Structure 1
């Protein structure tokens, strides 16, 4: 009788440990899938915002993205870095001020959506950090931008 109880106990323990391992793997898989989905969403939210020539105003097409960015910053506890840029047409100082206005405009919008001001930092770069050639209209368009960076803040 003792042998049967011990054998039955061993089977129950083995069964429970196998199911616990499966549950742990499932939880890890779910977390990994959730993380990869949110990583993809965050990658989209942090794509550069491009601007019209000599304009600091955010294009209408970007407001939905900025609304989603604000929600992610608030819900998932992020800090935001906004780096303003300009193309090389015009005076150095003028482009520096324009790049600052672009970043500050985005910051003000995020704050209007509930993001804490202390969570957003802006940095102007003027025309000093091009990502494309300023010799073509397409290159200048890419250089007129605000770069968005996110940093997770500890829980």
Structure 2
């Protein structure tokens, strides 16, 4: 997971916000990544689904079009029962940023080691870690 995930997740949960994952990975690969990347390394997450986990998990298996098409984010928002314009997307790729913006969502880019040199100009904000998203959520929709 991206740096600062624990802080962002804990803050979102403490405020009663819904949390989802929308990944370009296939379903089996995403579940493996969640178990190894989040559950094993994040004290904040105790289960992939249900209490303490994610309210929605969407993979490439759940959509017919792929990023930068907005379908994956629109499906995820629908699963959450949240209007797209009330969602924040946290992305580490330019295609993910484009997908979030194409969905009508606000997007925070948190570049990773491999994408830090890319142009994230479409993002609403470019941050150094997921923890830096917390003040954006605190500001409200």
TM-score (normalizing by structure 1): 0.31
Using CA pairs under 8 Å that are at least 6 residues apart, name the structure with larger relative contact order, 1 or 2: 1
* Structure of higher CA gyration radius: 1
TM-score (normalizing by structure 2): 0.33
